[in-house]
Amino acid sequence: MRLMTFFLLVLTLVAAPVTAQDSDEFVMVPAVLDADPRTVTAEIDAHALARYAQGVVASIERDEGLVALTLSVVNDDQMLLTEGFGLADIETARPVVPDETLFRIGSVSKTFPWTAVMMLIERGLLDLDTDINEYLNQVQISEAFDAPVTLRDLMHHRAGFEDSMQLFAVADDDPRSLSELLAAHQPKRVFPPGARTSYSNWGSALAAQIVEDVSGLDYGEFLQAEILDPLGMHDTTWQPPAQMDEATRSRLATGYKRKHGAFDLQGYMQIGAYWPAGGMASTATDMARWMRFHLNGGELEGVRLMENSTHAAMWTRGFNDRPEAADVAHGFQDRPYRGLRTLGHGGGTAAYLTQMVMVPELDLGIFLSYNSAHTGAPFMNMPDLIIDHAIDHHWQPVLASQDEEAAEVLAELAGTYVSNRRVFSSFAAVFGLMSTAQISPMNAEAIVIESGGQSSYLQLIAPDLFESASGERVAFLRDDDGRVVALADGMGVHTAERAGWFDNPNTFFIALALAAFLALTSTLGAWRNLGRGRNIGFAARMAGAGILIGVLALVAFIAAVVALITSMADFDISQMPETYPPPSMLWTHYAGWAVAAAAGLMLLAQWPTWSGSGWGLLRRLHFLLFTLATTFLAVMLWQWRVIGAAVV
């Protein structure tokens, strides 16, 4: 991932908690460095921008395979550009019409409940630093860390919740209400409030429940009556595709996925009553109105939904541990780029990727959405390219330089970092093994981040702050003792924890490889000794049985892992309500328990092995090493929740 390079292409223990600002005031935390005033006052030529956008999309269409894209750009409270590219439906050759074609906007939906929360704060119905349990009627947050979760924590993705897969396994026709789902799927609290940024779909849906409980209106009713209708956003809906009326459904861009170099239909992601976290659909022109509302400080065409001071407070960070890097400002991704401050949100579902980026200094807003999520190129690059065009920034290549001796200056940053946006308490924790980034210092002023098979070269621009040629920034976080403990990504909504040897994914893979190797050599040794009369007597047979049990358990586990990887290769999030958890997860879970049981029996078999088996010293030592490796693998299986946890 950019740290979507560090998720999306979508799309991680304990340090001292970060202290929030004083509850009685908002303190503006700067998020940019030395903005060039010429860029702030630059005028944007609409015709030149249209030609530029057409060229960018044409390039992506050819290189990446793009079915359709809808785009709107606003500037100075006006529509600067609105355009549709490609086909909303291939079979009927239906074109994209920016003010008619609906695209599902995924997590950009979250900006609506966050805005609703601020509206209720302005009315005196909510407070940022009150325990949210005081606002909830049917859901209560479990106690942990001797600290309550507040709206300030929740709105900055710092409530400390683990991630959850269960949200995506809820069908759109599931009869349960949002409060029932939130209670059934409450994630474990794994970090103290404020300590780490870790993106939470569950927490975002919880914000909508708070709006509902405090306002006395169903969240959808509040959204329609208090936000969409007043702002004239009449082409925005939260109905899932299967429940849309015929007229609305006919306007929705069909979702596609790549197949054999062409395209096939992609099912739609289902989340039921969790829709406030990612289930809305809209047009480019409606979302242009949403951007204008925010760029105007809470007002659109004479309709004001919140005071300018309240909106300024919303776009103010509540935490200050990385002021010059990307973070969150009350639900909005707050990212510095080319000396400017950008605010917005991205969203991804099974069939769509969406990006909304606003640049207050330029009074510029960019919205785009497309209906084939196989490529992240428009999502990751197009808003930044439009900003570059607006400020006349030209690409500056960087020459990589490696100096191992000088790199010692940055040696404390080196290591493996594991994403904090993951499951910790159930079987799904094992998928965190793949959510890593490897940091390698290159010289005294540059590092390389390797993640997801990609490498990024970033240069030092301030202490613990690095920037790539593409403008992405990452920041290293330290504890009270000055030790580097985490990495904050370039999107603002994720952090990754620096792993020690025990919780390092590499340790798990080494344990598995060692146990598998010793199982293989034990099998070869048994075959070599077959028929040579070296397993005579009860003790020798017991020792031989221990080896056989260990080998069979390892073979079963490796086979289950292969089945799991194979099933994940065909993973389709739209099918999760029917397929999650897949049988391969259960097989791997049970096979993991078989490894643990085998390790116990192998430990018991050590007594006859050493007391009366008659085996040579090397053979006994080999079996001991095999036993210890299998036992340590069992410990790793527990650490990564393959065993000892629910299979969800």
CB 389 within 8 A of CB 52: yes
Query: Which of the four pLDDT bands, split at 50, 70 and 90, describes residue 43?
Result: confident
Residue 7's pLDDT is: 35
Domains of the chain, CATH where assigned? 37-391 (3.40.710.10), 507-639 (no CATH)
> Considering the chain, what percentage of its residues have pLDDT values greater than 90?
88
* Residue of 53, 69, 611 whose CA lies nearest to 373: 69
Mean pLDDT for the stretch of residues 269-274: 97
Mean pLDDT for the stretch of residues 617-638: 97
CA angle 332, 453, 2 (to 5 degrees): 15
* 401 pLDDT above the threshold of 70: yes
CA distance 186 to 167: 10
* Residue of 162, 199, 166 whose CA lies nearest to 181: 166
Mean pLDDT for the stretch of residues 619-630: 96
CA distance 277 to 208: 8
Mean pLDDT, rounded, of the chain: 92
Q: Could you report the per-residue pLDDT of 476-521, keeping only the tens digit for each?
A: 999 999 999 999 999 999 999 999 999 999 999 999 999 999 999 9
Residue 3's pLDDT is: 35
* 28 pLDDT above the threshold of 50: no
Question: Dihedral angle at the C-alpha atoms of 77, 78, 80, 86, nearest 10 degrees?
Answer: 100
Q: Is the peptide bond before 581 cis (omega within 30 degrees of 0)?
A: yes
Q: First-to-last CA distance in the chain? A: 24
CB 151 within 8 A of CB 128: yes
Residue 427's pLDDT is: 97
Question: Dihedral angle at the C-alpha atoms of 316, 322, 324, 329, nearest 10 degrees?
Answer: -20
Q: Could you report the per-residue pLDDT of 202-215, keeping only the tens digit for each?
A: 999 999 999 999 99
- Return the sign of the alpha-carbon dihedral for residues 153, 159, 160, 165: negative
Longest CA–CA separation in the chain, Å: 95
What pTM does this model have? Answer: 0.91
Distance of alpha carbon 23 from the chain centroid = 29
Residue 535's pLDDT is: 62
At 2, which amino acid appears?
A: R
Burial class (CB in 10 A: 0-12, 13-18, 19+), 566: exposed
* 474 pLDDT above the threshold of 70: yes
Residue 613's pLDDT is: 86
> Where are the strands (E) in 283-352, listed by range?
299-300, 303-304, 327-329, 332-337, 340-348
Mean pLDDT for the stretch of residues 54-58: 96
Return the DSSP state at 323.
Answer: T
* 618 pLDDT above the threshold of 70: yes
Tracing tokens 């306007």 back to the chain, one arrives at 251
* Residue of 334, 295, 329 whose CA lies nearest to 313: 329
Q: Report which of residues 35 and 530 the model is more confident about.
A: 530
Residue 459's pLDDT is: 98
582 Cβ neighbours under 8 A, 6+ residues apart: 564, 567
Q: Report which of residues 31 and 194 the model is more confident about.
A: 194
Mean pLDDT for the stretch of residues 298-311: 98
CB 519 within 8 A of CB 550: yes
Residue 533's pLDDT is: 55
Residue 504's pLDDT is: 97
SS3 179: helix
Q: Could you report the per-residue pLDDT of 385-400, keeping only the tens digit for each?
A: 999 999 999 989 999 9
